[in-house]
Amino acid sequence: MTDNPRLALIERIATARREWRWANSELVHLEKGVNAWNHWRSRQSEAKPDLSGIDLRGVDLKGVNLSHAKLIRADLSGADLTGANLTGADLGQANLTRANLQGAILVDTDLIWAKLVETNLRKADLRRSKPIEAEFIGADLSEASLADAKLSRASFMDAVLCRTDFSRSKLLEANFSDAILAQCSFADAILIGADLWRAQLTGANLTSATLTGAKLNKADFTRANLSSADLTEVEARGARFMGTVLTGACIQGWEIDSETSLSDAVCDYLYLTRGDRLPEGTRSFMPGEFEQTVRNELMAIEWTFPQGIDWSAFVSACQSVSAVNPDLQLGLQSFEQRASGELVVRLDATGARDRAAVFQQLRTAYQAALPSPKPSAKGAPPEQEPSCHSLWAIAQTLSRVQHLPMVP
């Protein structure tokens, strides 16, 4: 193809007309250049040109008006679409790899399964667009707006997204692994199941964002704002929350580890579950209280014994599980006998990479350590195994147990 942008466009249009055998007046206007095309579009404002499957690789289309055009499976890779108007266009499955869309308008644009690998979308307007399952791998969307967009399962791996606006967007299972998201906004966005592994979110705004089940392992949230965010069951192992605002966040089932940094985090209060506020009432955390509370709550295993507990089997289970997990440090946080009669024991599980797996190991070991029931004489009622239901009995039992440390 020629290096002359004007001739390149003519060649592409000529090829398209030969392949499609079109006597298409729309292509005739585009063949005359962007200015002629835009002039025709201004007089045909209701027209919705169908350019599906067209090959416009590498052509100069700066400022072109392709609003409401049908460009399904079009190849625009390497094309220069700087400042182009693609409002309401259908770019489903289109190839825009390494295209230049800086400052382009893509409001209400359909980009389902579109390929935008290493595409320049700086300052582009993609509000209310639908890039569902689109590929933005390595793309630059700095200062772009994707507010109210539908981006479920879209991939932004290695993308540059500085000061990008994702406010109120739906980003279910979106992939932001290794992306640079400094000072971007996810305010009120839905990021359920999203992958932010090793993403850089320094100074980002995630106020009231929903991140249920998201993977935040090794992500950097330094000085980010996560106030009132829903962090239910997120994985945050090795994540950095230094100077992060977490006031009002819900951290039910949040997975952290010893490498998770919470230094200088700002948090007046949080929710362990919806409605379960800490501290209770209207009190705010004292200095240093937040981090200690979070670690106590989130590194804990809560074990319920509906029919009482065999403390010998319990201690044996803890010892055997600790023996096969060298990095695991089990400690007794608390125990509580509820009105229903069930006993709830809370264990600190420092060093546990997978609390669910450790808990399953504990339950299996506990069952194995329970004594076999003694056979009863014929006609006699079965002998009841002693159980520790009263707090006094529990206290006496614990006073004899020297193997399991109490967590301060």
Express each pLDDT in 205-247 by its tens digit: 999 999 999 999 999 999 999 999 999 999 999 999 999 999 9
Where do runs of H (alpha helix) occur along 195-349? Answer: 289-298, 311-324
Output the pLDDT for position 399.
Answer: 43
Chain-centre distance of CA 87, in angstroms? Answer: 28
Structure tokens belonging to residue 77: 């890779």
DSSP code, position 47: -
> What is the C-alpha to C-alpha distance for residues 28 and 88, in angstroms, rounded to an integer?
23
Q: Are 96 and 77 in contact (CB under 8 A)?
A: yes
Q: Are 189 and 171 in contact (CB under 8 A)?
A: yes
Domain segments of the chain as ranges:
299-369+388-398
pTM over 0.85: no
130-182 pLDDT, tens digit per residue, is 999 999 999 999 999 999 999 999 999 999 999 999 999 999 999 999 999 99
Output the pLDDT for position 188.
Answer: 99
Output the pLDDT for position 348.
Answer: 80
Q: Are 254 and 234 in contact (CB under 8 A)?
A: yes
Output the pLDDT for position 111.
Answer: 98
Output the pLDDT for position 98.
Answer: 99
Q: Which of 3.30.40, 1.10.287, 3.40.50, 3.30.70 is the CATH number of 299-369+388-398?
A: 3.30.70
Residues of the chain with pLDDT under 70: 1-8, 10, 12-25, 295-299, 353, 374-408
- Least Cα distance to 358 among 333, 331, 332, 324 occurs for 324
